Structure 1
Amino acid sequence: MNDIAGAKKTALHELPRISDRVTFIYIEHAKINRSDSAITVSDSRGIAKIPAAMIGVLLLGPGTDISHRAVELIGDTGTAMVWVGERGVRQYAHGRALNHSTRFLEKQAQLVSNTRTRLQVAKRMYQMRFPGEDISRLTMQQLRGREGARIRRMYREQSKLHHVEWDHREYKVDDFSSGTVINQALSAAHVALYGLVHSVLVALGLSPGLGFVHTGHDLSFVYDIADLYKAAITIPIAFEVAEKYTETDDIGRITRQKTRDAFVDGKLIQRIIKDLQILLEIEEKDKIESDSMALWDDKEKSVAYGINYSGDNACP
C-alpha cells in the first residue's frame, strides 16, 4: 500500500505552545481538507491554506464538510475542534487535548473535590475581579451578589457610553436572529470567548466540566474562566458593535472579527494560562507532556505499563 502523501507527523514537543497560536478561526459553509501540513478551506470565493499547528481552536459552524485526512492532521497537531451551531452560538462537540498527561487534571480534581480548597480557588477567581480589595471574609453568597452588581453596573456604563438601549440580557439559543443587535453581539462575543477558553483548557489537559464556581455542567470550568474576561473584553466589544451596526448587518461575523482582534492584541491566551497557573497553583516549570502512561499502585505512586508483571503473589 502506498504511503499517504504529506509531512511527517510532528513530535509533541516540537509543536507550537498553545500560548503561541492564533486564537480561533470560525468556518461555515465550506469544505475542509488537507494539503501536506496545512488544512485547506474552500468555498465559493476560493481556497485558503492554513497551517494547522498554528491554530488554537477551529470553530466549525453549519455547512462545514471536513475530510478524514484533515481531522487526522488536526488531531496530530493538537488543534482543538469545536462543532458549533449557527453563527457560532451553541457548542455540540469537541476534539482531543494537546496535552496527553493527566497531571494538571489530577491537580484540578484534587482541588475541586475538597470543600476547603475549592473555596480557596473560587475566592481567588473573585479576587481577580476585585483587585486591591480584601474579600477573604466574604461568603460565596456575598461574592455572587457583588459580582452580579458589578456586571449590571458594567452594562449600564457601556449602554451610556455607546448610546445603546439596554434593558436586560435576553436571547433564544435556537434563534440567534430573534435577539436585538446588542444581545446578538453579546452571544457571538461570549461564544467566541468560550471556544478560546475551552481550547486552552483541553490543550493543558484540564477538564472543562470540573468547575469551582459553576457546577453540574460539562462546561462549568469554561464558564468559570471566561467570566474573568467578559467585563474587560466581550461586553465592551458587543456594545461597540451595537452602536455602529444594525439588524441588516452580519452581527455574528462582525463581532467575531472584533473579538478575535481583541484576543490577539490583549494576548488573551497568555493571560488565561497565567491565571490558570495562579488559580490551580501550577508551577511555571510544568510543561505539556507527551504520552506518559503508567499503572496505578496502592503502595507506590505508579509503576511502568507495557510490562508483563509476574511474581509469587500474582493472581492466577
Structure 2
Amino acid sequence: MATVAQRRASSPRDLTRVAERISFIYLERCVVHRDANAITAEDADGTTHIPSATIGTLLLGPGTRITHQAMSVLADSGAAVAWVGEQGVRYYAGGRALNRSSALVEAQATRWANRRTRLEVARAMYRLRFPDEDPSGMNRQELLGHEGRRLRDCYRRQAERTGVPWHGRHYVPGDFDAGDAPNRAVTAAAQCMYGVAHAVVAALGCATGLGFVHSGHELSFVLDVADLYKTEIGIPVAFDVAADGEEDIGSRTRRALRDRINKTRLLDRCVDDIKMLLLPAGRVAEASEAEDVVTLRSDREVTVPAGRNYSDEVTW
C-alpha cells in the first residue's frame, strides 16, 4: 500500500466541485482519523465514515481530536477545516483551492486595487442583498447607513413573524451565553455562514483578505460574501429556531441552517454570485477552472508558456 508521501496529489478533475458538496459538517467529542480517501469520526457510539471529497467545511467542535493523515486528505480534497467552540467565535481554517486558475483572484485584486471599482463591487453586493433598492450613486457612508436600517428592519420583521421578543442585537465576543435566545441563534447562524462562505471563497481560489465592504481583517472577503445571505437565510432561520425554545439553541440552529442551505442549493448560488461580482462579463469559462496550467508574464499583458528557457530570445 502506498504511503501518504507516495500518493499523488489530486488533480482539479479529480475533485468534487464546491457547488456539489455538503455545505458543512459539525463534529464534537470524537477522534477524526483517515481511512483511504474518507475521514472517520470515532466516539463512544462507534465509527462513522465521511467521504472527504463531499465536504465543504468541517467544523470541529469541543472535545475533537484530528490526526495528521485526516488533515492531509481534507487538504487534498480542497475542504476547509474550522476549529470552533460551542460559541463558534473563532476558528482556524485550512485546505486548498479547488480552482487551479488564478483568473478569479487576479480579477478580485484588480477590482479591489482601484477605488472606483472597489465601490462598484460594494454597490453590487448591496444590490444582491436588497434588490428592491438601487444603490447607484451611494457613497460608502450612505451604503453603511442604508444597510444598518435594512438590518434593523429585518430583525423587527422576523420578531413580528415568529412572535419572539427582540430587544436589539447584543453580542459579547467569547461569551455565547451572554445573549438571549434570539441573539444566541443569530450568532450561531452567523458563524456557520462564515464557515460556508470561507469554504466557497477558498475553493474558488479568491483572496480571503481583500474585502469590498469589510476591511482590515484576514477574512474580510469571507465576511462580505456571508453577509449577502444574512437577511434572506441566516436571520430568518435563527428566529425560527428561537421560536421553538431555548434548549440547545446552538446545535439546533446549525442543523436548521444546514438543511436550509442544502435545500436552497446556496453553494451553487454563492459560486455564481462571486463570479458575477468579480467577473461581470463572465469571462471565466467552466473548463478553465479545471486547468492546471502555469504561464509566465511577458510585455503588454502577454503570457507565454512556463517550463522553458527564454534566454535565446533576449537581446542583451
Q: TM-score, normalised by structure 1?
A: 0.90
Structure 1 residues 104 and 128 mapped into 2: Cα distance closer, same or farther (>3 Å)? same
Aligned to 1:70: 70
Of all paired residues, the percent bearing the same amino acid is 44
Q: Distance in 2 between matches of 1:205 and 1:126?
A: 23
Aligned-residue RMSD, C-alpha: 2.3
Gaps of 5+ in 1: none
Cα offset, 1:173, TM superposition: 2.0
Q: What is the SS of the residue equivalent to 1:221?
A: helix
Q: Distance in 2 between matches of 1:90 and 1:123?
A: 29
1:1-316 correspondence runs (5 A): 3-4=2-3, 10-246=10-246, 249-281=247-279, 282-283=282-283, 285-286=285-286, 287-298=288-299, 301-308=302-309, 310-311=311-312
Q: What is the SS of the residue equivalent to 2:34?
A: strand
Per-residue deviation, residues 61-105 of structure 1 (Å, max 9, x unmatched): 232211121112112211122222334332234332222332211
Q: Distance in 2 between matches of 1:80 and 1:126?
A: 27
Q: What is the SS of the residue equivalent to 1:206?
A: coil
Q: Distance in 2 between matches of 1:131 and 1:173?
A: 32
Greater shift, 197-206 or 159-168, is seen at 159-168
Cα offset, 1:57, TM superposition: 1.1
Cα offset, 1:8, TM superposition: 7.3
Q: TM-score, normalised by structure 2?
A: 0.90
Q: Distance in 2 between matches of 1:239 and 1:157?
A: 10
Q: Distance in 2 between matches of 1:156 and 1:129?
A: 17
Q: Distance in 2 between matches of 1:87 and 1:40?
A: 24
Cα offset, 1:133, TM superposition: 3.5
Cα offset, 1:298, TM superposition: 4.6
8 Å Cα contact 1:85-1:92 kept in structure 2: no
Cα offset, 1:191, TM superposition: 0.6
Amino acid at match of 1:61: G
Cα offset, 1:284, TM superposition: 5.7
Per-residue deviation, residues 142-181 of structure 1 (Å, max 9, x unmatched): 2221211111011111112222121121122212123221
Q: What is the SS of the residue equivalent to 1:26?
A: strand
8 Å Cα contact 1:80-1:97 kept in structure 2: no
8 Å Cα contact 1:56-1:80 kept in structure 2: yes
Which structure features the higher share of helix residues?
Answer: 2
Cα offset, 1:312, TM superposition: 8.5
8 Å Cα contact 1:100-1:205 kept in structure 2: yes
Q: Distance in 2 between matches of 1:146 and 1:254?
A: 31
Structure 1 residues 137 and 45 mapped into 2: Cα distance closer, same or farther (>3 Å)? same
Structure 1 residues 38 and 153 mapped into 2: Cα distance closer, same or farther (>3 Å)? same
Per-residue deviation, residues 218-257 of structure 1 (Å, max 9, x unmatched): 11111111111111111011111111112xx221111000
Cα offset, 1:266, TM superposition: 0.9
Q: Distance in 2 between matches of 1:230 and 1:182?
A: 14
Q: Distance in 2 between matches of 1:176 and 1:96?
A: 30
Q: Distance in 2 between matches of 1:229 and 1:312?
A: 52
8 Å Cα contact 2:15-2:98 kept in structure 1: no
Q: Distance in 1 between matches of 2:75 and 2:178?
A: 36
Greater shift, 148-157 or 284-293, is seen at 284-293
8 Å Cα contact 1:127-1:133 kept in structure 2: yes
8 Å Cα contact 1:27-1:64 kept in structure 2: yes
Q: Distance in 1 between matches of 2:45 and 2:14?
A: 34
Structure 1 residues 151 and 132 mapped into 2: Cα distance closer, same or farther (>3 Å)? closer
Aligned residues between the structures = 312
Q: What is the SS of the residue equivalent to 1:91?
A: coil
Cα offset, 1:20, TM superposition: 0.6
8 Å Cα contact 2:15-2:77 kept in structure 1: yes
Amino acid at match of 1:288: E
Q: Distance in 1 between matches of 2:74 and 2:225?
A: 25
Amino acid at match of 1:250: D
Q: What is the SS of the residue equivalent to 1:288?
A: helix
